[in-house]
Amino acid sequence: MKIQVAKKVYKNIALGLSQGKTIISAQGSSRSAKTITILIFLIEYILRHNNIRLSIVRKTLPALKGSVLIDFKDILFRMDIWNDKQFNKTELIYKLSNGSWVEFFSTDDEQKIRGRKRSILFANEANELNYLEWQQLTMRTTLFSVLDYNPSFSEDHWIEQINKDLDTYHFISTYRDNPFLEQKIIDDIEKLQGKNKSLWTVYGLGLRAVIEGRIFDSYEIVNEIPAFVKKRWVGMDFGYTNDPTAILNVAIHESDLYLDEICYKTRMLTNEIVSVLKSDCQNKKIISESADPRLIDEIHNAGVNIHAVEKYQGSINAGIAKMQEYNIKITRRSIHIKKEIDNYVYAQNKEGVYINQPVDEFNHAIDGARYVILMEIIGRRKKTDLRSLSGRI
């Protein structure tokens, strides 16, 4: 079965390798199809060459499993060559009949970073890696390395230095190079042009820029939510086709707000959502989006302690303002939450002045956290204030 690819991305990879380059640097905007096209290219390459070892790497294992591994399996299914017996689910290794094989691991696993050699390296969302991790991986790669990324970083980032290396073939792709995008997605990307200049530069034009106008200007990465933190809930924002369903642990201790990613996936059916909530969110109150009452009823009827958020005029800014009062701490595995926090920004007017209105992008997990704040912190405080007032009357 022939797989459709973004031709510009595919041709640039081939061109770089034909020139003898050992690093292919695929910079791109949102939805430029760079990751899918790189995977297709590499799969075709290892099918043509025997005994090739391909390592596909991302910063964290949950992010890898929820993105590039799913894409890899989908491509093999569409090529009609996927075989469950050839995939080791424990080691995350897929072996082909010609002796070539593909392994998936995260840079959180230091042993694998410093482990065996590989023929080809694919660093997905490489801007999440630090230079030492990249160096350890490439020095054990014998043929060539490919990295893809959205360029939301400053000019002193290590990728900028790699792109200047004579052994690197660097190219830029944008959503305009992806002929398979739905019009709604194109419209959503192009709306950024009038909302926030830096978001449009990175995610529309695929050019390097530091994201400006960030709503949350600081946070801390922690390994996990400490055991002593007792105030815990689960926040959830629904999505489906293009937007993910985001599920996260939300915990508060004094002035600290902990955010811990549980699930961040598109096309989740009700039974899949229920399965995640029952396995990972036991004995916790779940505060969810309120826009889909039927879905909430289905989840509740499955025995899940779910409650729809109560919204009101001004509740978005109220929730954000309350979150800004806390020291935000994001667990190390929460790669999508980190990306949202890094890219959640205020809108700009026609004169480029920031206004007190967030851009409705990069906010799925953040919305889930905000629902918890609205119901369990602001809501409780309002009830307490009302009780105090009634006692004085």
As averages over each run of 10 residues, the pLDDT of the chain (393 residues) reads 82 98 98 96 97 95 89 95 96 96 91 87 96 96 98 95 97 96 94 95 97 96 96 97 95 98 93 95 93 96 96 94 97 93 96 94 97 92 48 47
Q: Give the model's pLDDT for residue 382.
A: 56
Residue 329 dihedral angles phi and psi, to the nearest 5°:
-125, 120
Q: Give the model's pLDDT for residue 174.
A: 98
**Short-list 238, 299, 301, 297, CA closest to 264:** 238
Q: Give the model's pLDDT for residue 380.
A: 63
**Dist CA 117 CA 201 (whole Å):** 37
Q: State if pTM tops 0.85.
A: yes
**Short-list 66, 49, 69, 64, CA closest to 120:** 49
| Cβ–Cβ < 8 Å for 176, 234 | no
**Short-list 32, 12, 35, CA closest to 174:** 32
Residue 363 dihedral angles phi and psi, to the nearest 5°:
-145, 20
177: tokens are 């190079």
Q: Give the model's pLDDT for residue 263.
A: 94
Element (H, E) at 8: helix 7-18
Angle, alpha carbons 384-386-388 (nearest 5°): 70
42: tokens are 């590499």
DSSP conformation class of 126: G
Q: Give the model's pLDDT for residue 168.
A: 98
Residue in the structure block whose two tokens are 């060559």: 81
**Short-list 127, 120, 124, 189, CA closest to 158:** 127
**Short-list 40, 59, 63, CA closest to 244:** 63
**Residue 292 vs residues 12, 240, 245, 284, 309: alpha-carbon distances, Å:** 43, 12, 13, 21, 11
**Dist CA 271 CA 276 (whole Å):** 9
Spell out the residues 6+ positions from residue 286 whose beta carbon is closer than 8 angstroms to its own: 233, 234, 235, 236, 277, 304, 305, 306, 307
Angle, alpha carbons 344-198-358 (nearest 5°): 30
Strands 93-95 and 101-106: antiparallel
Element (H, E) at 103: strand 101-106
Q: Give the model's pLDDT for residue 381.
A: 58
- In 181-326, the DSSP E strands lie at 220-222, 231-237, 245-253, 256-265, 286-288, 306-308
